[in-house]
Chain A
């Protein structure tokens, strides 16, 4: 990746974060913490990895993306809007009556959303089913799923991990957003899912551990996932919940709380300054 390409990603990620703040502030609810921890991952996926077409969101041969940690829909919506699936202005309708942007992803209403999710643990099963069918249909498309570290406390993802290995779904890539926090506190104190990579390897998955805010590491990891044959690949991304907004960083309290007017101004000022810096202004 060239310096210019990386700068473009950094700028896009900054705008995705601004979208998250705009949307949750307007909605007066929603989940900024996990949207921000995954903002760089959303950005990389939609601007570099996924083979999708905003002008033809239901193109049958597109890559699929399933947001298994569905509560971080604001991050997904911000990335989709920036990528051109729908107007960025629409982000402000998040969670309002009549909006296409439901509190959790709804494939029936939102262009670019490939699976309805929100109940934790379910998306990865759907993603595995998609990957299995893509193989059956002899399509070369790939399927990506993003899970939370708290989410894998559910049992269903482990059923899905078993399934994906059993059916050798090397067209499936699961990304775990390991932001270390969940509603009740630190993940390891609430109910430790650790060690995540070792458990996934025991389930037969190829695993890669990366800094989930480092685009170079993402590039290497997604390349490795694409090269992996005969087994699914998991990217365990260590991240900071609330990343990019100083007062939200590493605070469990920002899991599911919207910024008030003052917090909104502070957050946006930080992000605008960051964007100006990246744009060399």
Chain B
């Protein structure tokens, strides 16, 4: 796999919106004064009459998108994850989730890798918040290619979808045209000693850790879980059964995200020791995104370290 190219998943979001816009006249986009950052500006440039700026008013934007969906349109709404999932949580729950309206929430700038803006803008709670809404699909693509595939799948899916994209350029680990399906994870590296389940930008880190572990004679199974909800239960269960040890990796609080979703599944269906790698119940801070990830243990180095410690138990 070619990893030299780095590009942010938000770029894939913008590009996919433009592609889909050409195919689907019912697709409209709402943004809250962040079009340049969320990359919906690409769609705005291509289809100015279908892009609606709501100003700095995320709560109203979610409601307007709900109304648009009720009129038969397919709205994508965008802001930073902090404001889309955080500030507007209750609007998403009550105006979009409860009526099962066909709104796609394209949230960018998720996680610590937002970087210099600091903790106020580093949303590490969005998976937790969005997972609790019945019927909400939660996606977090690992690279630009997967981001485009996820946006297409979100459009094709009938019902609300939350997509988390990142600001930081990250390695491209997928081939163009790879099969993508909501609810299906993918085994990137097969193995039987430990299962490493990752989502978002942690997938590339997990894959790198997997290579290093292999070089040490360990056999890790690395799985990419773009879909956090609904979780690919069979894939997770089979990995747990085959490996007996599971490590989860996410750029999100260890509370309420992928790690807890996996723990909940395994504790009920296949009790298995788990280590969760994520943000450990703390706020982030300002700094370059890439360096912050290292500081908070969201790196291949740390994944490798955790796995070695886990296997030595």
Chain A partners chain B:
yes
Residues of A within 8 A of B (CB): 60, 64, 66, 106-108, 114-116, 118-119, 121-134, 136-137, 155-156, 159-160, 162-163, 166-167
A126 contacts across to B, CB distance below 8 A: 63-64, 66-67, 70, 95
Q: How far is the CA of A38 from the CA of B177 in the complex (A)?
A: 56
Task: Let me know if A119 and B90 touch, CB within 8 A.
Answer: yes
Task: Let me know if B94 and A133 touch, CB within 8 A.
Answer: no
Interface residues of B in 260-302 (CB under 8 A from A): none
The answer, yes or no, to whether B59 is at the interface (CB within 8 Å) is yes
Q: How far is the CA of A107 from the CA of B101 in the complex (A)?
A: 10
Cβ of A262 to closest chain B Cβ, rounded Å? 36
Where chain A touches its partner, the secondary structure class is helix
Q: Which residue of chain A has its CB nearest to the CB of B64?
A: A129
B54 contacts across to A, CB distance below 8 A: 159, 163
B62 contacts across to A, CB distance below 8 A: 125
Task: Let me know if A167 and B52 touch, CB within 8 A.
Answer: yes
Cβ of B134 to closest chain A Cβ, rounded Å? 12
Known A108-B100, A130-B71; contact A116-B64, beta-carbon cutoff 8 A? no
Cβ of A146 to closest chain B Cβ, rounded Å? 15
- Point out the residue from A118, A128, A130, A159 that lies within 8 Å of B59, measured CB to CB: A159
Q: How far is the CA of A128 from the CA of B59 in the complex (A)?
A: 13
Cβ of B23 to closest chain A Cβ, rounded Å? 18
| Most chain A CB neighbours (cut-off 10 Å) among B55, B57, B70, B73 | B70
A160 contacts across to B, CB distance below 8 A: 60, 63-64
Q: Chain B 209-237 against A: per-residue CB contact (8 Å), 1 yes, 0 no?
A: 00000000000000000000000000000
Task: Let me know if B63 and A156 touch, CB within 8 A.
Answer: yes
A127 contacts across to B, CB distance below 8 A: 67
Q: How far is the CA of A193 from the CA of B63 in the complex (A)?
A: 22
B70 contacts across to A, CB distance below 8 A: 64, 107, 114-115, 126, 129-130
Residues of B within 8 A of A (CB): 28, 49-50, 52, 54-55, 57, 59-68, 70-73, 75, 90-91, 94-95, 98-100
| Most chain B CB neighbours (cut-off 10 Å) among A106, A107, A108, A129 | A129
Task: Let me know if B71 and A107 touch, CB within 8 A.
Answer: no
Task: Let me know if B99 and A130 touch, CB within 8 A.
Answer: no
Task: Let me know if B68 and A133 touch, CB within 8 A.
Answer: yes
Given contact pairs A122-B59, A122-B94, A132-B68, enumerate 20 new A-B contacts (beta carbons under 8 Å).
Answer: A64-B70, A106-B98, A106-B99, A116-B95, A116-B99, A119-B95, A122-B91, A122-B95, A126-B70, A127-B67, A129-B65, A132-B67, A133-B68, A133-B73, A136-B73, A156-B60, A156-B63, A160-B63, A163-B57, A167-B52
Cβ of A128 to closest chain B Cβ, rounded Å? 6
A125 contacts across to B, CB distance below 8 A: 59-64, 66-67, 91, 95
Task: Let me know if B68 and A116 touch, CB within 8 A.
Answer: no
Q: How far is the CA of A128 from the CA of B57 in the complex (A)?
A: 13
B28 contacts across to A, CB distance below 8 A: 133, 136
Q: How far is the CA of A123 from the CA of B62 in the complex (A)?
A: 11
Q: Which residue of chain A has its CB nearest to the CB of B66?
A: A126
Q: Which residue of chain B has its CB nearest to the CB of A121?
A: B59
Task: Let me know if B99 and A129 touch, CB within 8 A.
Answer: no
Task: Let me know if B49 and A115 touch, CB within 8 A.
Answer: no
Cβ of B21 to closest chain A Cβ, rounded Å? 14
Known A108-B100, A133-B71, A137-B71; contact A119-B64, beta-carbon cutoff 8 A? no
Q: Which residue of chain A has its CB nearest to the CB of B55?
A: A162
A121 contacts across to B, CB distance below 8 A: 59
Q: How far is the CA of A107 from the CA of B50 in the complex (A)?
A: 26
B68 contacts across to A, CB distance below 8 A: 129-130, 132-133
